[in-house]
Structure 1
Amino acid sequence: MKALKLTVVSWLLVATALAAGKQPDFVTQEVTGEAAIVAGDTDKAVRDARNAALREAVEKVVGVRISAQTLTSNNQLIQDKILSRSDGYVRKYDIVDRKEEGGVMKVTLRAQVGTTQLDKDLQAVQALIQQLGNKKLVILVYEQTVTPDQASITSQTMSTVLTEAFMKDGWTIIDPAFAMGKVRLQPGATALSNAEAKEIGDLTKADYILYGNVTYQQIAPNKKAWGEVDDQGNQLLFFVSGGYDLSIFETASGSQLAKVSGGFDNKQNNVGEQGKLTVSYERTAYEVARVRGEKVVAEVRTPVVAYLNNAFFNGSRVSMSVVGLTDYAAVQGFKKVLAKELSSGLRELGQGTFSGGKGQFDLTFLGTMDDLAEAVSGKTYKGKKVSVTGVGNSTIELTLAR
C-alpha cells in the first residue's frame, strides 16, 4: 500500500492557504491513475484507472492537511478511515486525457476535492490517533512447544515477537509480572471474567490485555523426503506447525473486544524459501511467530480502533472511585450530584458499590479524562470539597475532605 508523502511545495501551499485566512471549500488536483487491461476489458480498466486517480487526488489533499509524523506512523489508520471512501470527497471531476500504453490504461483527470467533510473526518481520525498514542498493553500468553517425542516445554517466542511488534506500532507494553499471582496461565485458557480483567488492569495500569494460548508442534523429519535429511541421516530442515487462540480485553469495563485465532504451517507459509528452516526448531518457530505476529498486531488494532471510535462519538467507560463517603446512602447521594454536574457529558452511570469508606462505580463519559477531572474538581458534596487525587487513561479517583 503506497505511503503518503509530503513535499516542501505542499507545505508552502498549506502555509499560503493559512495566511490567506478562510480555507477554500474545495481544492483542485490534476492526477493520473493507471490500471492493467485484463482479458481485453478496456471499460473496466478505465473505471479502475479513474478510481485510482480519484484516490490519488484525495491523498494529495490529505497530505497537505495533516502532519508528516501522523502520516508516517498512522498511515494504515488514514487508509482505513479516509482513503477507503475517497470518491465521497470528490465534488466533481473532468477527464482530460485517456490513453493505453503496453496493456495499461492511463486516465488523467482534474478533480475538485471538498474540504469541509474531509477536515471533519480527519479531525476524528486525529482524535483516535491521539488516544492510540496513550494505549498500554499487558501480554499474558501461555506458550508450549511439543517436541517430536511428545515432550512439552514452555517458551516465550510469540510473546517476545508480539512485544517487539506492538512496541514498534506505538503501544506501551506493561510487565505482566504484576498480574501473575492473580491469573493462572494454562493450556486452553482464552477467556477472563470481567472482574479478572478489571483486577489485572488495576494491578498493571494497562488499558488492554492480550490473553491466550500459543502451541508449537515440532515435526520430525521425513527421512524418505528429499532435502529433509542428508545422506548421513543428519536433519537439515526443521518444520514447525501449530496455532494460536488469543483474546483482547479492555480493562476499564473488563469486556472482551475480540478473539484472534489461526494456525500456521511453515510448509504452507513457504518460510523455507527464506532459508530459515536449516538452523533449528527454535529459529523456525521464531520466524513463524514473526510472520504471524504482524498479522496478530493488525487484528488486535482493528477492534481497539473500533472501540476508541465508538468511545469518541458515544463516550468512554470510566471507573470512578470516591474516598471519604460515610455509607452506601452517601454513594447514592453523590451519584445524584455527579449526574447534575456532568449532565452535558454523562451518558451512563452504574449502580456502584461501597466498602471501607470508598464508593466505586462505572460511568460512560463523552470527553477526555482531563474534561472529566476539570468538571468535578472543586465541587462540594455535603460541605466536603471534591479533589481529584488520581487520573488514569480510564480511571479517576476523587477524595472528599472538609
Structure 2
Amino acid sequence: MYRILNYLFVILSLLIIIRSGHAQETKTVASEGVAAIQQGHVDIARDAALEDAQKRAVEQAIGIMIDSQTQVENYQLISDKILSQIKGYITRYNITGENQDSGLLRVRITAEVSMGKLNDDLSAIGILMSQMHKPRTMVMIAEQNIGGDLYAWWTDRDGETDLSVVENSFMDKFTEKGFEFIDHETASKEIRVTKAYRTDLNASQAKTLGKQADAEVVIIGKAVAKSYGEVAGGMKSVQADLSAKAVRTDTGQVIAATTTHAAGVHITDISAGTEALKKVGNLAAEDLMTKILAVYSKEVGSTRPVAITINGLTKTQFVKFKDVLRNQVRGIKDLHERSFSGTTAKISVDSKTSAQQLSDELLLRDFGTFSVDVVGSTANSLELKVMPK
C-alpha cells in the first residue's frame, strides 16, 4: 500500500507545478476621447473617439506608475511599445457619456486597466528599472543536489566561485527585465565571510555582505533536491524545494519572499536533481521578480520608505526638524519616529521622491538656529548631521 501511495505521489508531483498565484491587479480610470465627425459619419467618429478614450485611460495608468519627466523622456518608446497595443491592457470598459460639440464627438468611459501587464511591459523596456536608479542585485542562494553537500559560492570552498543551477536561473530571468547583477567573482573578493556567514543567511547578514559588494538588493535562500524513488521504467524522480527572499542592503527591509517546489525525472539521481533545481529556480525567479517589480512600481507611482538618521541634535532641534519635514518639504506623505537617544534620532518617512531628491530639499530649508548637512545617502536612506549656524 505504501509503495502505491508513494508512486501516486511521485506521479502527481510530476504533473502539478506548485507556485503562488497572483491576481492581476487592475485600476479603474475615467477618461474622455475626441474625434472629428467627417461628412456626418457619427459611427466612424464614435469608434475613433472610443479608441482615443482607451488610449488616454492607459496613459493615466502609466502616469500612476512613472513620473511625467520619465514619460516625456521615453515618449517615443512608450508610444511604440505600449500605446500601440492599448487593447491588451484594458480588461473592460463602460461608456458613461457622449456628446457632439462643434463638429467633434466626445466619448467618456470608465476603463479597468491591467496594471500587472502594464508593469511587466514597462519593465521589459527598462523604464521601471531606470526610475528606480537601476538597483544592483546580488544572488546568494545555497544549493544541494542529490548526493552532494550544501554548496554556496561565498563560503570560498577551495577557491570555488561557480554559481549554482538555481542562481543561474535567477540571473537569466532577472536580466530579461533589465536587472543589473553584481558579478560573483568580483563579489567574492570584496565580501568578508566568517563562520557565522555560512549557508543559511538572514536579512541582517545579507545587508552586511551586500554593502561590502556594493549591492542595493541581495537575494538569499536555499534550494534542496530530495529523491522520491523510481517511476515507471526505472527513471529517477526528484523534488526540489526552494525558499528565497530579497533584502535591501541600506535598510535591511525584506521586500519580497517566495517558496516553490518542482519535480524532475531522469535516468540518474543527479541529472533528475539538476532538472528539478532548474525548474524550481525558474519558478521562484518569476515569482520573486513579480513581487519585487510590484514593490518598485508602487514606490515609483506612489510613495517609498526613506530611513533618515540625524546626528548631533538636541530634542528641541529634533522637534523643529520634524516640523520642517512635515510642513515645508515636498512629497512627504507621512513621518514615523523610530528612536531618539543622546544626540541621534532615527525616523522613516513615506516620500513621493527619492532619497537623493529629499536630501536636496533639506539642504535648502531653513531650520532656524541650525542647518543640516548630508553625510551619506543611498536609494532608500539618508544620514544627516546637524550644524550650528
TM-score (norm 2): 0.57
The residue aligned with 1:103 is none
Q: Deviations over 1:272-321 (max 9, x none)?
A: xxxxx46x766554444443333222211222233234334542111223
Superposed displacement of residue 262, structure 1 = 2.0
Residue 147 (structure 2) pairs with residue 160 (structure 1): no
Q: 2:239 aligns with which of 226, 236, 241?
A: 241
Residue 291 (structure 2) pairs with residue 336 (structure 1): no
The residue aligned with 1:264 is 262
The residue aligned with 2:220 is 211
Task: Give secondary structure in 1 for the equivalent of 2:322.
Answer: helix
The residue aligned with 2:197 is 184
**Amino acid aligned to 1:245:** S
Contact 1:260–1:296 under 8 Å retained in 2? yes
Superposed displacement of residue 390, structure 1 = 3.3
Contact 2:241–2:260 under 8 Å retained in 1? yes
The residue aligned with 1:41 is none
Superposed displacement of residue 144, structure 1 = 1.8
The alignment-based identity, stated in percent, is 13
Q: 1:87 aligns with which of 71, 89, 92?
A: 92
Q: Please list, as runs of the form range in 1=range in 2, the aligned pairs for 1:74-113 lying within 5 A after superposition.
A: 83-88=88-93
The residue aligned with 1:105 is none
Q: Please list, as runs of the form range in 1=range in 2, the aligned pairs for 1:362-377 lying within 5 A after superposition.
A: 362-377=348-363
The whole-number CA distance in structure 2 between the counterparts of 1:114 and 1:263 is 47
> Which moves more between the two structures, 212-221 or 293-302?
212-221
Q: Please list, as runs of the form range in 1=range in 2, the aligned pairs for 1:288-367 lying within 5 A after superposition.
A: 288-312=276-300, 314-323=302-311, 325-327=312-314, 330-342=317-329, 345-354=332-341, 359-367=345-353
**Amino acid aligned to 2:298:** N
Superposed displacement of residue 394, structure 1 = 0.9
Superposed displacement of residue 141, structure 1 = 1.8
The whole-number CA distance in structure 1 between the counterparts of 2:108 and 2:294 is 26
Contact 2:57–2:111 under 8 Å retained in 1? no
Q: Deviations over 1:144-165 (max 9, x none)?
A: 2231xxx634262212321232
**Amino acid aligned to 2:258:** V
The whole-number CA distance in structure 2 between the counterparts of 1:242 and 1:139 is 18
The whole-number CA distance in structure 1 between the counterparts of 2:346 and 2:215 is 19
Q: 1:393 aligns with which of 355, 379, 382?
A: 379
Call closer, same or farther: CA 1:170–1:281 in 2, change over 3 Å.
farther
The whole-number CA distance in structure 2 between the counterparts of 1:361 and 1:201 is 23
The whole-number CA distance in structure 1 between the counterparts of 2:331 and 2:150 is 55
**Amino acid aligned to 1:378:** L
Superposed displacement of residue 244, structure 1 = 0.8
The residue aligned with 2:178 is 170
The whole-number CA distance in structure 1 between the counterparts of 2:56 and 2:275 is 37
Contact 1:157–1:285 under 8 Å retained in 2? no
Call closer, same or farther: CA 1:282–1:115 in 2, change over 3 Å.
farther
TM-score (norm 1): 0.56
The whole-number CA distance in structure 1 between the counterparts of 2:297 and 2:379 is 15
Superposed displacement of residue 132, structure 1 = 5.1
Call closer, same or farther: CA 1:341–1:297 in 2, change over 3 Å.
same
Superposed displacement of residue 87, structure 1 = 2.4
Superposed displacement of residue 375, structure 1 = 1.4
The whole-number CA distance in structure 2 between the counterparts of 1:141 and 1:392 is 25
**Between Structure 1 and Structure 2, how many residues are aligned?**
299
Contact 1:352–1:360 under 8 Å retained in 2? yes
Residue 143 (structure 2) pairs with residue 143 (structure 1): yes
Q: Deviations over 1:124-178 (max 9, x none)?
A: 956745435623323232222231xxx6342622123212322232112235653
Q: Deviations over 1:169-195 (max 9, x none)?
A: 2112235653745963446x7x64xx5
Call closer, same or farther: CA 1:293–1:27 in 2, change over 3 Å.
farther
**Amino acid aligned to 1:86:** T
Superposed displacement of residue 214, structure 1 = 0.4
RMSD: 4.9
The whole-number CA distance in structure 2 between the counterparts of 1:203 and 1:246 is 21
The whole-number CA distance in structure 1 between the counterparts of 2:109 and 2:129 is 20
The residue aligned with 2:21 is none
Contact 1:90–1:114 under 8 Å retained in 2? yes
**Structure 2: gaps of 5 or more residues:** 1-30, 37-49, 60-70, 99-105, 153-163
Task: Give secondary structure in 2 for the equivalent of 1:242.
Answer: strand
Contact 2:222–2:242 under 8 Å retained in 1? yes
The whole-number CA distance in structure 2 between the counterparts of 1:294 and 1:266 is 13
Task: Give secondary structure in 1 for the equivalent of 2:299.
Answer: helix
**Amino acid aligned to 1:157:** V
Contact 1:58–1:86 under 8 Å retained in 2? no
- Higher relative contact order structure (alpha carbons within 8 Å, sequence separation ≥ 6): 2
Task: Give secondary structure in 2 for the equivalent of 1:293.
Answer: helix
